[in-house]
Amino acid sequence: MRRQWISAALIGMVCVSSPAWATTYTIDQDHTTVGFKIRHLFSKVQGSFKTFEGAVDYVPGHPEQWRAHATIQAASIDTHVEKRDNHLRSKDFFDVEKFPTITFHSTGVTDAIATGGKLNGILSIHGVEKPVTLNFEVHGEGNDPWGNTRAGFSATTTINRKDFGLAWNEILETGQLLVGEEVEITLEVEGLVKG
């Protein structure tokens, strides 16, 4: 009887302590937006990157297992003005021939709640790596009509482009800079596990 009680207790401990396994969601490029906004003169220009790949590891209630990584092709920048996009690809800005990719990998989560938290990580742009914190939201997960599992996430942060060596600018007659230094980044991510 004692032996049975010990066996039951051990099984119970294993069941309680077993971790929930995270689901790895591949970023669905067709349903994801990697967007940014920056001041130009007296308004703000919006743009996005069109080519990227990555994944998000997510399990509800276990933020210690939440992870993300992504690689963006810098040359895929799109602000809807070809001349401006070509300038952004040049040595004045991203220098895409020398630094073709922008990368991010997470290092941990803080201030977690059921629907999100702060996703800390390392962002590499123009060959420069800097720590960043994304305000991360989870919108839910479930099955689509084609038998795939999907999840939705949002993330926002603000960086200073000069921190990454993107320092080109012009000074106007008023003394104001032509292009702002702060870049607002907004990510709308849909992840996919094919059924």
For 57-67, how does the pLDDT look when each residue is reduced to its tens digit (9 = 90+)?
999 999 999 99
Instruction: Set out the domains of the chain in order of their start, with CATH numbers.
Output: 20-193 (2.40.128.110)
Pairwise CA distance, residues 74 & 66, whole Å: 26
Confidence tier at 35 by pLDDT (50, 70, 90): very high
Which H or E run includes 17?
helix 2-17
Which H or E run includes 15?
helix 2-17
This prediction has a pTM of: 0.86
Pairwise CA distance, residues 139 & 153, whole Å: 6
For residue 175, the model assigns a pLDDT of: 67
Mean pLDDT for the chain overall: 90
Confidence tier at 22 by pLDDT (50, 70, 90): confident
Q: Check residues 1 and 149 and name the one with the higher pLDDT.
A: 149
Rounded to whole angstroms, what are the CA distances from 6 to 2, 3, 11, 19, 24?
6, 5, 9, 22, 36
Closest C-alpha among 107, 124, 109, 118 to residue 163: 124
Q: In this model, does residue 126 exceed pLDDT 90?
A: yes
For 4-16, how does the pLDDT look when each residue is reduced to its tens digit (9 = 90+)?
443 444 334 333 4
Beta carbons of 22 and 56 less than 8 angstroms apart: no
Beta carbons of 169 and 162 less than 8 angstroms apart: no
